[in-house]
Each structure stands twice: as structure tokens, then as C-alpha cells.
A and B are shown apart, each in its own frame.
Chain A
Amino acid sequence: MATTVLEPAHATTARRSVLVEWLTTVDHKRVGILYGASAFLFFLMGGLEAEIIRLQLMKPDNHLVTPEFYNQLFTMHGTTMIFLAVMPISAMFFNFFVPLLIGARDVAFPRLNAMSLWVFILGGLFINFSFLLNAAPNGGWFGYAPLSSRQYSPGINMDFWMLGLQILGIASLAAGVNFFTTILNMRAKGMTLMRMPMFVWSVLVTQVLVLLAFPVITVALILLMADRIFGTSFFQLKAAGDPMLWQHLFWVFGHPEVYILILPAFGIVSEILPVFSRKPLFGYSAMVFSMAFIAFLGFGVWSHHMFATGMGPLADSFFSLATMLIAIPTGVKIFNWIGTIWGGSLQFKTPLYFALGFIAMFIMGGLSGVMHAVAPADLQQTDSYFVVAHFHYVLFGGSIFALTAGAYYWWPKMFGRMLDEGLGKLHFWLMLIGFNVTFFPMHFSGLLGMPRRIYTYPAGLGLGGLNLLSTIGALILAAGFLVFIYNIIRTWRSEEQAPADPWGGATLEWSIPSPPQEWNFAVEPEVHEKDALWAMKRAAGVRTLPEPPRVSGQGIHLPSPSWWPLSTAIGLLVFMIGILVRGPVSHAFPFGLISAAGFAIAAFSIFKWSYEPPDHHTSHIAH
């Protein structure tokens, strides 16, 4: 490699303060870490909400919290876990690893990427700020109108929800454009689409879903905002408004959204299984096409969330059949994962534990999903704890297990330290046991007739034992994550440096130092087949390549840090705050001024951003 070994760094130029560096960063790796750190905090928040819900339901006729607060808890638990935890933790992996996996130095639009991050963080804080006013959203995570309209939700609670979700939607859409462009256009020489790592494929397909689904919920939220703030009647029965319109718009977004939550998990597991089986992924092209087919069908099944609304036999049959059809490509994926580990020389490391746990738990969630596809059966199960069990098996047993697998797998690359294997396995067993003890009994409490979102239940219905079991499971789950946090803290204190390639990896991120330097690749890689790093090792006739040197990086162009992404995000937040206070507060004071100020900040920032030169030379600012 035509590069020099790093001289004592940070000597040439005065460094800006660390805080400013992080606030103005456009480095996809730092953006990824900020996504991950903030999303993990939101995840703990959502987890805490879940624990309080479980303690409230621990025994019959319990009054640990008030019914009003309980409504806020389940609404915020769902909203947080979907929009503030699983999506942005996935975004952490998109940000950090997509450029590394495709051999690029950054994403296509680094400043747009930073804007997505700040819009997400401010949006998440905006929604959660409502807790301080004791006015957290309380109308369920899907905000069914007209329940969510001013008439039935008079407080400021659902204003936080609908405005916060609009903010978060902008972050997702901007990231969608960015990653779609990055993956299609920034691949290393020779990396054709059908040589891309499966995780990159999953991100590409996920972004298509984001780009096509999020505009629809944006419109739904705009109509709800018009109803709540400006006095229209889009969902008001008295003015011939149609509540079904909300449900259709919401689920046209909402069903693709569940694939937005699970496809990245599929991608992560498809990276981990080959590495720890020492075998290439079984049925690569079948995996690609089945994922694309799942995404395509995902737009044709939304009404299976609405069987109970009485759409009639034709619509019910269509959506039943379309939903059952999704089991086929999903089954293809599961068989391919099993085919990958079949006959492999399995390395039983923590990431593999979680990946195997994912397959088993996701199959169980998938099976109850097929049960819901049968419309008459669904009428019995809908809005019961059976449904709660189902979607936790796919979203926790699926997404969270896979994201945790990804965290253990990629931790050394992100932070240059290995997480402890013993603690990792303890985390796995606590999580697997806790998860099943929590959610498996919910199948039974649901079929016994326990409705979801219920505040409490009388004794003598036979629900007490099952609920107590679920609560015990939830505490075991919490213990699992405490072990994870302890593992992180302990590892943080250790000085041990992870090697570039601790697992015998197949993909390009393992060819560069851990953690990667700012420019990722000192020399831009060239790819000749799938599993690029395995191919390089084969060509060199070695099992592990020599440790790559850290280089000075002089002469490499990098995107310049910028304040404008952050200030654009602040402008957007101020704009939404203006609308928020306009709702409940007297119209006498010109609250429109706040929104106007927010708009002005955002417009000015975008204008300055457009004329800011996008990159600099590393010899100007040394790192």
C-alpha cells in the first residue's frame, strides 16, 4: 500500500473542541455512533415504559399507576420502540457500515446525513419532552382518528405525537434518499449489485420502502394536524369525514413499516451466519429476490390490520391471500439461513448465539402471523394479547435479537474493543429466557380474551398467573440488558485493541483498522467477486491478512464539517413548536411568529448550506 504509517497525530493544527467536532461532524461513522447512542437511550426509555406496564399488569385490580398515565405508557412504548429505537439503531448500522461494506469513503451526501441525525434526535426529544408536562401522547401508537382528534383527545398529548412523527419522517426520508443514492452509486470498482453484501441489499430495499411509505403517513399526519389545529373535519363523523381514511393511510404506511423494521435484521443475520459457519451465504440470489418480493407484497397487505372494520368478503379475501403469500419468500429466507449453517464449521461466538436465537424466535412470530392472515381467525385474535405476543415475536424476537447480534458482531469494528464473550452469552441466555417467559404466555392470555391496552383486569378470569409470568419474564429481560450495559462499561475501560479482523470476516470492513480511520480506505478497494475479503484471503493463500497499518491520510479529500445540518434541524423543530403551542393556547397572541421564525432559520440554513464548499483536503485539518 502506497501509504505512510501514522505520525504522532493532532500536532499540525489547533483542534476544535470535541463538542464542536461532534456537533458539526459529517463523518458517517460518527453520525452512526450518535444515532446508536441516542437510539439506545430511547430504547432504555421505551424499555422502562414496558417494565412499568408489566408491573401494573402483574396482578388483578392493580393500581400502581393511574389509567391516564397507563395510556401514555403504552402509546409511548410503541412509538418509542418503533421510531426511536429499532429504526435508528438500524440507522446506526446503515450509517457506520454501508460505506464500509461497499468500499466507499462516505455516503453520497454527508451533510444531508448529519441533518437526518439531528432531525431524528430533536424529534425524539420533542416527543419525550411531553412527559415533563405530564402530557405524553395517549391515543395509541397508530393514533386512530377520530379518537386522536381534538374532540376525544383534547390535551396537547396527541399534538406532540403527530408533530413529532412528522419531524421523524423528515429524518427518515432524507436518509432514504441518501442511502438509496449511496448504495446505487458509491460502490467500489467491481462491486456489481449481485456482489453486494446481503446487509447492503437489505438496506437498499428498506430505503425503497421508506421512500414510498413515509410520504403516506406524512399526509395522514398533515390531515390530522389540520383537524386538530386548524379546525377541519377530515376524520370527523359529524361532517361526513371518514375514519376509514385514517386507517387506510396509516396502514399503507404501517405495513411496509414493519418490513422497514425487519429487513435490516434479515441483512445483519445474513452477514453473521456465513462468517460464523465458515461458509458463503446459501442461495444468495434467492435471498435477494425473496427480499425484494417481500417488499413488493408489503404494499399489498395493509388491510389485514383492518379485518375487524368490516371491509367485506372480497377485500378480506384479497388481503388474506396476499398476506399468506408473504410466507413464501420469508420461508425461502429461513431455509437459506438454515442451509448456510448446515454442515458449516460453526464458531459459537456471541453474535452467532443471537443470530440463531433470531431464526428460532422469528419463525414463531411468523407462524402466528400466518394465523392472523386468516380473516375469520383474526376476528377472534385482533386487539387481544395474542396479537401483542405475535408482534413482539417478530419485532423483539426478530429485530432486537438481530440488532443485538449486529452489535456484538460489529462492536470491535466500531470501537476497537471486543465485548466480553462470557457476559455476552449470559446476556443471550437471559434475553432468550426472559423473552419467552414474557411473551409466550401472552398467546394464552390473548386467546382467553385479554384485550391489549387494558389498564387492569378483575381477579377470577384466570389471567393473574399468566400475567405474573409475563412480568417475571420482563424483569429477566431487563436483567439481560443490564448485563449488556455492564459489558459495555467494562469493555470501555479496557485498553485492549481489537484486531482489524477478529472473526475471520468476509466483507470489506474487516480489511481496515479497528476502529476505521476517518477516510475508511487508504486505497479505494477493488472487488472481483462476492465476499470480497474472503476472495482476497484466498488469492493471498492465507487465513488472515496482515494487520493493516494506520496511515496519515494526507491528500485524501474529506467532506468538511458543517453547522448547517444542525441549524436546519433546529429550524424545523422551532417550526413544529410554533404549531404545537398554537393548538391549545389562545389564538390572540401571534404564535404563528414562532413557526415563521423556525421556517426562516431552516430556509437560511439550507441557503447557506447550498453555497458552502462541500469538502476539504486532509492536509488542511489533521486528525
Chain B
Amino acid sequence: MTAAALPHDSAPAHEEHHSSLPVNNRKLAIWTFIGSECMFFASLITTFVIYRDSHATGPGPKDVLGVPLVTSGTAVLLFSSFFVVMALNGAQQGNRKKLLTWLSLTVLCGIFFAGMQVYEFTHFVRDGMGYTTNLFASSFFTLTGFHGTHVAIGTLWLGTLLKDAYKGKIPPEKALNLEIAALYWHFVDVVWIIIFPVVYLMSLGHA
């Protein structure tokens, strides 16, 4: 008996399997993962808020946190969310040039943000605020460090997609590959939109 005689069976067991909900499996999965990640960052942010005034030894928020540099990083990260949407739009239209331009810009933004954080961290350490200096420092580095790790992973992910796009491996029917990475990237941005005011702006009101 051949496959032709089994019309039901020609459907693959997964991936392009009919969906019970009007959403692709992988898209649903990344949304689910993002929901889970919310609890991860909520716990880290809570820890930071509890400990931001615990700096009896060593520097506190007012002594080290510099708003201008991080504001520029924040702006770059926010713009990158817009850039990745443009890149996705290019992928869906099959517009290779648009896809490559905007995706490259997105990756550059990711690299800039990660670089900014590395610069900031080394600066802090030079100013006498190491990971174990006080609880403010420990919770600051843990929270922003994990966010930075997410940015780095996202940048790597988008970087591999950029390589694929360059080789012409992201035709319109595979734009979903980019869309999923973009959803993750937006999430990383949204988390930063919470971290930036909580860590940098509101902490300055504390001694």
C-alpha cells in the first residue's frame, strides 16, 4: 500500500500538523516559554528591590549608577525591536535587501547593548563595586547579568538567522523562523523596560 492511498497519513506527525488553535506549534511554545521567563525575571527583580538599600559596605546606587550611558543603551535596544519588525516584514515579502539591512541593524544593536553592559560592569569593578561587595552589588549584577545573558543569546540567535538570510535560506514561507526569534527579542526588550526604571531611575531616589 502506498502513501497515495492514505490521504490522512500524508500529514507529518508534527510541525505542519493541523493545529487545534490558529497558531503554529513553535509560536505557541515561544509564548509559553516567555510566560515562564516572566516569573524568572519577576523573582530576580524582587530580589533586587529587597536588597537595593543594603550597601553598608561599599558603594550604593547613587554612587555608581550612571544614567546617560544606560539611557543610550536602552534607546538602542528599543530601536532594535522596531528594526527586527522591519526585518520580519522584509522576510515575509521576500525582500532580501530589506531583510538583510534591518536584521544586520538589529544584530548590531544587540552587540552594542551587550558591549555597553560589559563596559559598565568593568567600570563598576574598577570603582570598587565587585560581585560580592554588598547585597546591592550582588543583586544588581545578578539581575542585569541575567538580562545581559538573554541579550547575548538573542544576538547569537539573530546572528545565525542573519547568516541564513544571507545564504537565502529564509524565504517568505520560513519567515516564521525569524518571527519566533523576534518574539523572544521583544520580550528581552520589554524586560529591560521594567529593569531600567526600577534599577536605574527609582534607585536614585534611595540613599
Contacts and interface: CB of A to CB of B under 8 A. Distances in A.
A240 B14 contact: no
For the complex of A and B, list the 4 residue pairs with the smallest distance between their C-beta atoms, beginning with the closest.
A555-B3, A215-B40, A219-B43, A557-B12
Contacts of B40: 215-216, 218-219
A607 interface: yes
Interface in A150-208: 173, 176-178, 180-181, 184-187, 189, 191
Given A181-B25, A245-B47, A619 B3 contact: yes
Interface string B1-18: 111111011111111011
5 contacts: A109-B29, A178-B29, A231-B132, A614-B14, A619-B3
A42 B73 CA distance: 49
A230 B20 contact: no
Interface stretch (B90-98, B134-142, B182-190): B134-142
Nearest to A105: B13
Contacts of B207: none
Given A232-B131, A233-B132, A108 B14 contact: yes
A226 B142 contact: yes
B35 A230 contact: no
A522 interface: yes
Interface in A1-42: 2-4
A482 interface: no
Interface residues of B, number: 45
B55 to A, nearest CB: 9
Interface in B147-189: 160
A232 B36 contact: no
A182 to B, nearest CB: 8
A214 interface: yes
Contacts of A191: 20
A187 B20 contact: yes
Interface string A89-128: 0000000000000001111111000000000000000000
Interface string B30-72: 0011011101100110010011001010000000000000000
Interface in B120-145: 131-132, 134-135, 138-139, 142
A360 interface: no
Interface of A: 2-4, 104-110, 173, 176-178, 180-181, 184-187, 189, 191, 211-216, 218-220, 222-223, 226, 230-234, 239-242, 245, 249, 252, 519, 522-524, 552, 554-559, 607, 610, 614-615, 617, 619
A554 B1 contact: yes
Contacts of B35: 211-212
Contact of B36 (A104, A215, A242, A252): A215
Interface of B: 1-6, 8-15, 17-21, 23, 25, 28-29, 32-33, 35-37, 39-40, 43-44, 47, 50-51, 54, 56, 131-132, 134-135, 138-139, 142, 160
Given A181-B25, A185-B25, A523 B9 contact: yes
B135 A239 contact: yes
Given A105-B13, A218-B40, A554 B2 contact: yes
Contact of A557 (B13, B29, B37, B51): B13
Given A218-B40, A615-B14, A3 B6 contact: yes
Contact of B39 (A177, A215, A556, A615): A215
Given A105-B13, A554-B2, 19 more contacts: A4-B1, A106-B13, A108-B28, A180-B28, A180-B32, A181-B29, A187-B20, A211-B36, A213-B39, A219-B40, A223-B47, A233-B134, A233-B138, A523-B6, A557-B10, A557-B13, A614-B14, A614-B15, A615-B12
Nearest to B17: A186
Contact of A559 (B13, B23, B36, B54): B13
B21 A185 contact: yes
Given A105-B13, A242-B50, A245-B50, A186 B32 contact: no
Most buried by A among B8, B40, B54: B8
